[in-house]
Amino acid sequence: MKNFLALTLIVSSLFGKTENWSSHSANVLQEKRIEIGLFQPLRIGVSGGREWSTHPVYFFMMPNVSLKKTRNVWWEFDVSSRHSISYPTPLLNMLARQGTGGIISPEFTFPAAVIIYNELLFTWEEQKPYNITFKLGVSLGLAAENISKGSTIDLPLAYHRFAPLYNGYGLRTGIDFTGKVTEKIHYLLDADIQILPGMEGSFAVEHKGMISWNKNDYFRISLGYKLVHGEYPFGTDTHILPYLPMAETWVPFMDFQWAWDRK
Amino acid sequence: MNSAQKNILVFIFLGAFLLPGCDPIVETYNNAEDAIYYESQTINDVSTSSENELNVMTWNIRFGCGRIPFFGDACGDRVVLTEVEVNTNLDSVVVRINREDPDILLLQEMDRSSKRTNYIDQVQYLLDNTNMNYGVYATIWNSQFIPSDGIGRIDMGNVILSKWKLTNAERIKLPLREDQEGIVQYFYLRRSILKTQVQVPGHDNFYAVNIHATAFATDDTKQKHIDTYLETLESLANEGALFVTGGDLNSLPPGADSTDFCLEDMCEDDHYHEAGNEPQHKDGSYFENFENEPTILQPLYEAYEPAVSIVDYLENEPAYFTHAPSTSDRNGTYYDRKLDYLFTNISNGWKPSSDQTHQDYKQISDHMAVSAILQLP
């Protein structure tokens, strides 16, 4: 079960923090709309131009919550801010164990620690049906004690996501480009850059391509890939994900999403 | 072409372009492949070295772990060493190599890019800090990630260092263990033999061959490894080549007084040899897993000349032991068996009484180096 949850975490992280499935944008969900996916967070639109979200699948291993709130329009951009906090200590201690599934050496014990991420999103919708969103954020890692750098998980996504715990902070910027092929088929292309000053692996460039078939406003299926080029303690490396180890092949990730409206 | 079709093409192009970016998580190999070449930052002058008398040494350096209680083979719980620990241990290895000053050095358990040893390229480190000039490397364990015990990324292998140039270096694949489940076997070691031509002036057909045979197999994998090793050596001999060979064979000399070290090697809370114990024997400490395992090296002794003759060995076994488990202190003895060897196909090739079993290296590795002077014709 633990292995399944850990796998789910890794797969779900491919999707990052997505928004309303119609666009990766500064827009928030409509009030009373709820969305959830196999690997995507549970999102709830509430009043006041706000949206709460959490990853329920691994909530009990890594409690997390995120709030997105619309801000004023700036020039031709819709602006929102997103603020999230996660508590990765239980997850990391679960991964630090002997035997199969020991992702981190059991010689390390993780203290209480949180990762706080704040970002601004700027969406330019003048070019419809295209939609361009710029993102700029900063993550802060706070830990009760110093964490040994020998305990890093030197894998794509994981290394840079948890890096603020070791480094104290990180910067992230990116651009999302979404559009429609047809009314029911939408696509997303994005690129993000993470900068982690002082870390041995000090940067990562992530790119995601995804195509979705929207059956209606309440169900959709997505297929895609994620490319990560980054620096790690062993040097730079490039990965395309997901990757099946024993089959030695890349496979597209697939997700199913559902939505409904609260009464 | 409308904008929608263009979008589809862009999507397909990006996908196709990015696909080649993926490498296998675990590297797999053909039967024979080119080895990886190294060169020292500074090439030392070898004109003063004798071209007919070569000091040859073999040493399993335990990936610069020294005697740190590593989790896998030392009843310990350490997995990821600090940079200071690795550099300190490597410096101890460097001191011994410079003191012994070998012309050809066969090394086993060398890390190149492993999380457990801080991703230090130990091959380059030794080349840059010793009198050796050239090196070749063949991995025996290369994976982007080992999802067990926190091992993570690993690249460990066999190395041959030399004062003279190395050419035609080849990695020869050894059979995988077959006593493991598929997923374990996939992430486990893929052992190899490393063969290279050594460009000693005046000797244009001289080779060095290095092997690290399986340690923990409980089936007949070790027999297959030794068979492949013998075939490799025989092939070289049939081509008229001269060679020096050796390594960590993880096998006992024929006639060794003990084949069972389970009780000596067992950690606290381990139990072997009693009814209900499963397994009955400690992996890597028992040398009768299959018929004739105790005499598995007999063909090697018969076909080639050992640096330490079997007669000398049997006269005083403890003097030639090369392996010291982590439990040595508890047992009051540091060495309990011979696993490391040197052989040649040169008739009377070893200078009499030149062999040394460096038991004073006991604090640097769980294996002791073996060296001897090889006389080229």
Specify the pLDDT at position A56. Answer: 87
pLDDT at A126 (0 to 100): 66
Q: Render B78-103 in DSSP notation, one character per residue.
A: B-S--HHHHHHHHHHHHHHHHHH--S
Would the CB atoms of B7 and A181 count as touching at under 8 Å? Answer: yes
Q: Per-domain residue ranges for chain B?
A: 23-375
pTM of the model: 0.89
Please report the pLDDT score of residue B22 as a whole number.
57
Q: What percent of chain A has pLDDT over 70?
A: 90
- CA nearest to B163, candidates B111, B211, B206, B119: B206
> Tell me, what's the pLDDT at A262?
83
Give B80 to chain A, closest Cα distance, Å.
6
In chain A, residues with a C-beta closer than 8 Å to the C-beta of B13 are none
Q: Which of A194, A135, A193 is nearest to A162 (CA)?
A: A194
What's the CA gap between A228 and B190, in Å, rounded? 28
Q: What confidence score (pLDDT) does residue A9 get?
A: 42
Interface confidence (ipTM) of the complex = 0.86
Unique residue bearing structure tokens 């364990």: B141
The model's pLDDT over B218-257, given as tens digits with 9 standing for 90+, comes to 999 999 999 999 999 999 999 999 999 999 999 999 999 9
Q: Are residues B115 and A234, on separate chains, in Cβ contact within 8 Å?
A: yes
Q: Out of B119, B149, B150, name the one closest to residue A233 (CB).
A: B119
For the segment A188-239, what is each residue's pLDDT rounded down to a tens digit? 999 999 999 999 999 999 999 999 999 988 999 999 999 999 999 999 999 9
Q: Does domain B23-375 have CATH number 3.40.50.1370?
A: no
Of the partner residues A105, A108, A238, the one whose CB lies closest to the CB of residue B21: A238
What DSSP letter does each residue of A7-19 carry, written as one string? HHHHHHHTT-S--
Tell me the Ramachandran region of residue B149: left when phi exceeds 0, alpha when psi lies from -120 to 50, beta otherwise. left
Task: Give me the residue spans of the domains in chain A.
Answer: 2-261
**A and B: number of Cβ contacts within 8 A:** 99
B7/A209 touch (CB, cutoff 8 Å), yes or no: no
Q: Give the model confidence (pLDDT) of A74-115 as tens digits.
A: 888 889 999 999 999 999 999 999 988 899 999 999 999 999
- Per CB-CB distance under 8 Å, the chain A contacts of B77 are 106-107
- Which residue does chain B place closest to A232, by CA atoms? B119
CATH architecture under which domain A2-261 falls? Beta Barrel (2.40)
What is the predicted pLDDT for the residue at A104? 96
What φ, ψ does residue B252 adopt, rounded to 5°? -90, 155
Q: Does B375 score more than 70 pLDDT? A: yes
In this prediction, residue A72 has a pLDDT band, given cuts at 50, 70 and 90, of confident
C-beta atoms of B150 and A104 within 8 A: yes
Torsion, CA B304, CA B308, CA B313, CA B319, rounded to 10: -160
The residue-averaged pLDDT of B204-215 equals 97
CA distance B252 to B339: 6
DSSP structure string for A76-111? TEEEEEEEEEE--HHHHHHHB-SSBT--B-TT----
pLDDT over 90 percentage in chain B: 77
Residue of higher predicted confidence among A32 and A18: A32
Residue A17 has pLDDT above 60, yes or no: no
Chain A interface residues (partner B, CB cutoff 8 A)? 96, 98-108, 150-151, 153-155, 179-182, 187, 189, 207, 209, 211, 225, 227, 229, 233-235, 237-240, 243, 245-246, 248, 250
The CA–CA distances, whole Å, from A54 to A42, A99, A133, B2, B300 equal 5, 31, 22, 39, 65
